[in-house]
Amino acid sequence: MSTAVNEGQSENSLDVKKQQVQQQINDQPQPEIPHITANYVSLYHVTSNLVLNSYAGLQNVIETLPSVTSDLARKRRVLDYLVRTRQEFVKLYVLIKWSTVSEEVSKCIDAVSWLSGQQNCFANVINVLFGIERTLGEAKLRNPDIETALEVLKDGKPLQPAHDFIPPKPLSPKTVLKTLQDLNVLLSIRLALTEQLPTRYRNYEISNGRVKFTVDNCFVVDLGVADDSVEARFFLVDFEFAFPSARTVPMELKAKIENITNDLLAQKPLGQVFDWILRFTQNYKLSVFHEQLSDLERGLWSGVLNHIFYPDKSLIAVQYWINRPGPRNIIEIGFLKDFTIGIRWLREGKPIHDHGVEFGQKNLSIEELLTRIINMHIRYIIDSVYSNLVTLFYGEEGTPLKENEGSSNNPLVSQIATDKIRIQLTGSRHTIFSIDMLTGRAVLQNSTQIVLSAEQSLNELTDKANQSANLLFKLRHVSLQEEITSRAKATGWVANSNIAVSNDDMRKYFPSDTRTVFCLRLPQWTVKWFLLVSIGGKRMIPQWWLSQLEAKGNAWTINFLEPIKLDRGGSNEYVYDYKLFDDLAAFTTTRIRINIICGELQARKIKYGLLQTSDRGGSPTILIHLDTLTKNTWAHSSLLLSLTKDDTQPQSQLKILVQGRVKNQLSMSLASSGDSGVSFDSSTGRFSMILDFSDNNTKEYVSVADIIVKRLSQVEQVVGYIDLIKSKNLELKDASMNEISFGYENGLSAKVIFGTSTGCKLELSKNNPHREVQSYLQEILFQEGLIPVIGVLTSTLSVYQALGQLKQECQKMGTEVLIVPRSVTEIRLIFKKHNVHVELKMVKSRRRQLMVFISDVVDSLPVSAGFKKQLEQNGNGNTTPSQHLKPLWENKQDDLPGTVPLVTGMACPMDQVAYVLQRVHHSLTRAN
């Protein structure tokens, strides 16, 4: 009863306490819910950013609208901007509406956040209670083991294992040794009598109660038996990899191998079990190779190597040079028939069986395998390209041709290393062909624009080994063409790339192995003349041709073609320098001139022939039949015409050299003149003329035949004058193509100058008495030649000497006489002081002797206006016969033989003229 009362009182006291605690909780003020402010953004910040962004967008639209050409596109751009901006401002409008109730929304967010935190607290408490429940089981005491206690009481030991709680009795060393020896004997008998192992698995060693099987470069397995029965099954004791750089087998992997192997040992023969272990080991190697390849693909070989691992097929396919066009290059690593690792190489899609590469046994470096295979592939390409290039560059001597042999001794193509080929492109440039090991791309060193283009073309080939040689061979002839063209342009030639010779003419005129023909020309050449350069043949030596082309449609036909062979020597055969193009310019220009001259001669039906010189680079000589060119009596019938350079000119202009021989040798040499360009050799009678192609006055081109005829006429004139002077027994003082100087009586001389605008010019010395009539002599020379001039000079010398003496005598006596020549044979003397006119006329008599008629004339001469005025002032305007001379005319002069008096004059021989004129002067003087 008391107990029940106490329990009731205790319950009441608990209720009271609960009520008190609840009252205290209710009396305490409730804490505020934590306010959440994380990740909040102010409305002002959002509004300002939106306004700035909208303004920037509007400004961008305004700036970019002028660049839009289409009006529809402008409208679309403005509309897109308006729609996009409107959407943003609608969002802002929603936010502003929400901001009006932001306090309620914020309290709601705080309440939800606080409730979520309380829920997490309750979940954590529940998880802790479950954890305590799980750990209480370990603290539970075990039930009493009545069964085991009865077994111990009855038998003295339990039947259940002790689980090492009771330490076993230690074995003695003798027992251990005997047991191991028994196991060794048992294993030896077992392996010798019952097990039939393949040859590869017969490498084993028995010791320490186990047998150790070793498969070279694969694995090592330790096996043991559990009892002394012959049929006792083997169990795996230990397993390790036995290949180089093998990793330690992890314990987890070793445990799995042990379980699987023990299961197989219980079911299959030992040989099959080893086969499984071998396959496992080799697959493990393949996984190692897979890891190595993955590392390579992430490193240096990135982007150039790709591999696929097929675990179900025990195969790894490695593709190298993946970016190279054409068939793929693959190395397959997998199992052979005897489960050893081998490789299969597909080089450019074709299997290679005799590669001789062993892999997967001792060498497990995949990078070394790739390097070796790729190097073999590169050597195959290099050897193939070199072999094909040697075939293309092979000479007739049976050995690879050498360029610049004797100087640099560089072959056209040479394999300077196992992976490099040196190719001589031109005499001054070469390139080296190689293959990049990582990418398989062809590389050409010493890059130019042409070499870079060729390198790009090489890398587009699908079969570099067989196709690269032809492209490299083409690169050489393109490089030759480019170097020849550039050097030619630098020396003044013009390249005509738009001229293509017709296919028919290519087959007709050029060898079949000609690869390209291009044209060069000099600006001063006439139209249709070109220098053709053909490249082809084994040695790719350019051949030079002088050609005359004519356009017919889209192609050009050849009207004239002549090979050019310059003897340059072997060492300069591949050198295209200024001297070569200077020699070509001289040779071709000479041949063109020769061809033009031949055309002109042929058009004028002048007989000629070509004489080729022994010099390979010399120009032919034209043999002209002079009889068909001009009629002559002074030279032989053959002329030799050739072209030569005038080195005295700044640009070494071409001149025409004409050589011939006179029929009558000159007794003295005819000196040549720099202006005339004509020289004579008196010993042989040969003469030579150097002529221009253009007229010296107009500088225009003149027909060569006209130039030769004109110059021959000049030579003929000079030679004729010389012969004339010699025939007259006159002294030839000096003779050249510009002038001839000769002397006649009393040391007097005259000079004939050629090449003037009027033809010839006569010059007399200052003391020559014929200077009074020099103008008349010049007219005679121009109209009739030198013969009458010489006749006048020699036959009338006494008359003009007498006139000179008369003039000197009048000067001494103070009288003045005016000599007025009307011609070379008619001269009037005017004595001003005496107003007397005396006329001299030279006339040939019937005996062909020259007589002089001296008479007193009454008609006045047409004198100058000043002199006529002076006569009129002196009262002598009208002249009359002089009475002072009448006795001289009427009386016979016995002391002057040969004289005949006339009515108003006298006839006298040439040698008496001086005496008659002296008496005329004395008669007039005495009269005064």
In a domain, 680, yes or no: no
In a domain, 455, yes or no: yes
Q: Report the percent of the chain where pLDDT is more than 90.
A: 12
The residue behind tokens 């294992």 is 161
Query: In the prediction, which pLDDT does 378 show?
Result: 92
d(CA 390, CA 378): 18
d(CA 413, CA 567): 25
pLDDT band with cut points at 50, 70 and 90 for residue 615? low
Query: In the prediction, which pLDDT does 58 show?
Result: 92
Same domain, 359 and 222: yes
d(CA 668, CA 684): 11
Same domain, 512 and 418: no
Query: In the prediction, which pLDDT does 406 show?
Result: 33
Strands 638-646 and 678-681, bridge-based pairing: unpaired
Listed range (462-476, 546-560, 572-586, 727-741) with the worst mean pLDDT? 572-586
d(CA 727, CA 744): 13
Give long-range contacts, CB 8 A cutoff, 24+ apart: 328-336.
Answer: 329/377, 329/440, 331/369, 331/370, 331/373, 333/286, 333/289, 333/359, 333/360, 334/286, 335/279, 335/282
- Mean per-residue pLDDT, 102-113: 83
Domain of 885 in residue numbering reads as 797-858+881-926
Whether the Cβ atoms of residue 751 and residue 736 lie closer than 8 Å to each other: no
The four Cα atoms 469, 475, 478, 483 give a dihedral, to 10 degrees, of: -130
**Crossing angle of the two packed helices 774-784 and 786-795, in degrees rounded to 10:** 140
Listed range (123-137, 462-476, 631-645) with the worst mean pLDDT? 631-645
Same domain, 852 and 744: no
| Tokens matching residue 838 | 């005396």
Query: In the prediction, which pLDDT does 627 show?
Result: 75
Query: In the prediction, which pLDDT does 409 show?
Result: 43
- Mean per-residue pLDDT, 817-830: 86
In a domain, 270, yes or no: yes
Query: In the prediction, which pLDDT does 668 show?
Result: 47
Output the CA–CA distances (angstroms, integers) from residue 509 to 175, 496, 539, in the order listed. Answer: 109, 20, 19
Strand partners, 442: 435
Among 87, 113, 133, identify where a domain stops: 133
DSSP 770-838: GGGGHHHHHHHHHHH-HHHHHHHHHHSHHHHHHHHHHHHHHHHHT--EEEEESSSSEEEEEETTTTEEE
- Is 672 a residue whose pLDDT tops 70? no
- Mean per-residue pLDDT, 807-836: 84
Least Cα distance to 415 among 427, 433, 395, 398 occurs for: 433
- Is 299 a residue whose pLDDT tops 50? yes
| Tokens matching residue 526 | 């006439």
Query: In the prediction, which pLDDT does 878 show?
Result: 41
Same domain, 915 and 833: yes
Listed range (192-196, 276-280, 775-779) with the worst mean pLDDT? 192-196
Least Cα distance to 481 among 394, 417, 540, 407 occurs for: 540
- Is 97 a residue whose pLDDT tops 80? yes
Same domain, 327 and 388: no
The structural domain count of the chain equals 6
pLDDT band with cut points at 50, 70 and 90 for residue 212? very high
- Mean per-residue pLDDT, 23-47: 77
* CA 879 to chain CA centroid, nearest Å: 97
Beta-carbon contacts of 716 under 8 Å, excluding residues fewer than 6 positions away, are 632, 634, 635
Same domain, 382 and 346: no
Query: In the prediction, which pLDDT does 4 show?
Result: 44
Same domain, 435 and 566: no
In a domain, 807, yes or no: yes
Query: In the prediction, which pLDDT does 404 show?
Result: 41
Mean pLDDT of the chain: 81
- Is 78 a residue whose pLDDT tops 60? yes
Same domain, 206 and 321: yes
Beta strands in 670-779 (DSSP E): 678-681, 686-691, 731-735, 739-743, 749-756, 759-764
Query: In the prediction, which pLDDT does 870 show?
Result: 53
In a domain, 8, yes or no: no
Strand partners, 706: none
What are the pLDDT digits (tens) for 214-245? 988 888 999 988 777 777 788 888 888 888 77
Same domain, 250 and 358: yes
- Is 540 a residue whose pLDDT tops 70? no
What are the pLDDT digits (tens) for 119-158? 999 999 999 998 888 888 777 766 777 887 888 888 877 7
Least Cα distance to 474 among 496, 450, 497 occurs for: 450
Q: Which of 402-416, 641-655, 731-745 has the highest mean pLDDT?
A: 731-745
- Mean per-residue pLDDT, 532-554: 81
- Is 496 a residue whose pLDDT tops 90? no
DSSP 253-304: HHHHHHHHHHHHHHHS-HHHHHHHHHHHHHHHHHHHHHHHHHHHHHTTTTTT
Strand partners, 422: 414, 432
Whether the Cβ atoms of residue 827 and residue 809 lie closer than 8 Å to each other: no
Among 569, 594, 619, identify where a domain stops: 594
Q: Which amino acid is at 446?
A: N
Higher pLDDT, 5 or 765: 765
Same domain, 228 and 332: yes
- Mean per-residue pLDDT, 781-791: 85
Higher pLDDT, 724 or 411: 724
| Tokens matching residue 150 | 């009865």
Same domain, 221 and 344: yes
d(CA 20, CA 494): 122
In a domain, 621, yes or no: no
Q: Which of 21-30, 406-415, 602-611 has the highest mean pLDDT?
A: 602-611
- Is 716 a residue whose pLDDT tops 80? no
- Is 50 a residue whose pLDDT tops 50? yes
In a domain, 274, yes or no: yes
d(CA 590, CA 654): 8
Whether the Cβ atoms of residue 261 and residue 274 lie closer than 8 Å to each other: no
- Is 165 a residue whose pLDDT tops 80? no
Listed range (275-284, 380-389, 778-787) with the worst mean pLDDT? 778-787
d(CA 732, CA 746): 15
Same domain, 247 and 319: yes
What are the pLDDT digits (tens) for 316-326? 999 999 988 88
Query: In the prediction, which pLDDT does 55 show?
Result: 92
d(CA 511, CA 31): 112
Whether the Cβ atoms of residue 632 and residue 626 lie closer than 8 Å to each other: yes
Query: In the prediction, which pLDDT does 665 show?
Result: 62
Taking residue 22's Cβ as centre, other Cβ atoms within 10 Å add up to 10
In a domain, 523, yes or no: yes
Among 479, 506, 525, identify where a domain stops: 479
Higher pLDDT, 102 or 463: 463
Q: Report the percent of the chain where pLDDT is more than 70.
A: 86
Listed range (93-107, 572-586, 800-814) with the worst mean pLDDT? 572-586
Strands 341-347 and 350-352, bridge-based pairing: antiparallel
| pTM given for the model | 0.58
Beta-carbon contacts of 354 under 8 Å, excluding residues fewer than 6 positions away, are none
- Mean per-residue pLDDT, 523-550: 82
